[in-house]
Amino acid sequence: MPDIHVEEANAADPELLSAIIALVPQLSASAPPVTASDLDEICESPATHLFVARDESKKIVGTLTLAVFRIPTGVRAWIEDVVVATDARGRGVGEKLVRHAIEHSIAAGARTVDLTSRPSRHDAIKLYEKLGFERYETNVFRFVVERKNSG
Domain boundaries, the chain: 5-130
Provide the b/e sequence for 33-53 (b: ≥16 CB within 10 Å): ebeeeebeebbeeeeebbbbb
CB distance 50 to 6 below 8 Å = no
- Which residues on neighbouring strands pair with residue 53, listed in sequence order? 6, 62
Task: Label residue 150 by pLDDT band (50, 70, 90).
Answer: very low
Write down the pLDDT at residue 95. 97
Q: What is the mean pLDDT of residues 139-144?
A: 88
Q: What is the mean pLDDT of residues 44-68?
A: 97
Residue 147 has pLDDT above 80, yes or no: no
Residue 43 has pLDDT above 80, yes or no: yes
CATH code of 5-130, in short, is 3.40.630.30
Task: Label residue 2 by pLDDT band (50, 70, 90).
Answer: low
Q: What is the mean pLDDT of residues 70-83?
A: 96
Note if the pTM is more than 0.75: yes
Task: Label residue 148 by pLDDT band (50, 70, 90).
Answer: low
